[in-house]
Amino acid sequence: NLICIYNTGTREGLLEELSEMQTHLEEDETELIELTKSVVNKITIMNDDEFNNIIAGLVADFT
């Protein structure tokens, strides 16, 4: 999950990390390019509360 891998703790930070990651992709990595674009589009339109709710569901509770 790209969100888990590149999450910095904030929606804006995640968007920055995904944008940076995209600069390293090769043309033939079409599936990853499309997946990244889709995630960026979804994260862009959500607000911080929606983002935080999604992140809370992704974090494992080991206690």
Taking all residues of the chain, what is their mean pLDDT, rounded to a whole number? 93
Angle 22-18-42 (CA atoms, 0-180°, nearest 5)? 115
Determine the angle formed by the axes of helices 30-45 and 11-22, rounding to 10 degrees: 160
The predicted-structure confidence for 10-35, as pLDDT tens digits, reads as follows 999 999 999 999 999 999 999 999 99
Report domain extents, the chain.
2-58
Q: Is the pTM of this model over 0.95?
A: no
